[in-house]
Structure 1
């Protein structure tokens, strides 16, 4: 239930971001097209936040898939390919959480999960949206996407979860319990 609720809320945010992204990416196309990767990190939040809050195998993947499905249903320019992107992004976060056996959920793990999710999505986008780009453009896009993912979804997602834990909204979950341990007198 938690991953569904997180996914729906994040999916609505994704939809809003997709509206602004259309303007920003059009502007980046005039400067240096691979810089559009700088605007992709927001779409990685679902997997990072879902994984950090629920802390169980599959939580990152399902949260990201639900969020991508909500965004697609609300309407965007990518249609159902958004769900494929969500699956790849959630899988990227899941792989990092699996490496740490779902036992570490700090800033480094969040940033690594976002970086791998960004890499998966970037490679997918090379095939679907940018097949005519030369390798240097593709690698630049990858670099920009990873930086965006680490900063927005990794650092931002980790900060968002810590902030929510501080409000008491996550008391039933690991981040809420850790917050109370950190602030205990």
Structure 2
């Protein structure tokens, strides 16, 4: 794998980050509405959190270079804040932690695997960070629900994010959006 970034890689990363940054900002409002549902808000909002996990996974899947996951999630965080994410600048902390966690997973696999296993582990790392944040900030509001449901729902949603990312990556690769180091995306 060549580590040199070319213009196509940078443009691919920017497109992914901007699209999912805007989606992330809008999804924050949907998440808040789901969270406000009495009795089921904690787990239901957790269950629909997978769109925030897709950015770094998709960027690495399409670009396949060190830093792709990290840079895409950081840029998506900036875009989300500028687009009016309901959590404001606090959301950037979530984006940073998820970016680092996902990049570490791909580094452990030496940036040479982009099949389902590393994608699932990377999505689970996003879920772990996110579930911990929900637990930490909501334990006083939800008691046992904060101990149990967000963790279960977040890990379940990570299992939605990884397959969706691979499916989306294959579809986008057919359009020519895949980075310069990708010869062909087939049956990963």
Q: TM-score range by the shorter chain?
A: 0.7 to 0.9
Q: Find the residue that maps to 2:114 and give its secondary structure.
A: coil
CA contact (8 A) 1:51 1:93 kept: no
How do 1:4-83 residues align onto structure 2 when only pairs under 5 Å count?
4-27=14-37, 29-31=38-40, 33-83=42-92
CA contact (8 A) 2:34 2:41 kept: no
How do 1:113-124 residues align onto structure 2 when only pairs under 5 Å count?
113-124=122-133
Choose the corresponding residue for 1:86, options 92, 95, 99.
95
Give the CA deviation at 1:135: 6.0
Residue 171 of structure 2 corresponds to residue 170 of structure 1: no
Gaps of 5+ in 1: none
Choose the corresponding residue for 2:169, options 161, 164, 168.
161
Deviation per CA, 1:43-68: give whole Å up to 9, x if none.
11111111212222221111111112
CA contact (8 A) 1:25 1:39 kept: no
TM-score (norm 1): 0.84
Give the CA deviation at 1:136: 6.0
TM-score (norm 2): 0.83
| 2:150 alignment partner in structure 1 | 141
CA distance in 2, matches of 1:25, 1:7: 25
Give the CA deviation at 1:32: 5.5
CA contact (8 A) 1:112 1:150 kept: no
CA contact (8 A) 1:34 1:144 kept: yes
Aligned length in residues: 176
CA distance in 1, matches of 2:52, 2:131: 12
Could you say if the C-alpha distance between residues 58 and 38 of structure 1 is closer, same or farther in structure 2, counting changes exceeding 3 Å? same
Could you say if the C-alpha distance between residues 135 and 31 of structure 1 is closer, same or farther in structure 2, counting changes exceeding 3 Å? closer
Q: Find the residue that maps to 1:170 and give its secondary structure.
A: coil
Higher RCO, Cα 8 Å, sep 6+: 2
Residue 111 of structure 2 corresponds to residue 105 of structure 1: no
Give the CA deviation at 1:116: 1.1
Gaps of 5+ in 2: 1-9
CA distance in 1, matches of 2:71, 2:25: 17
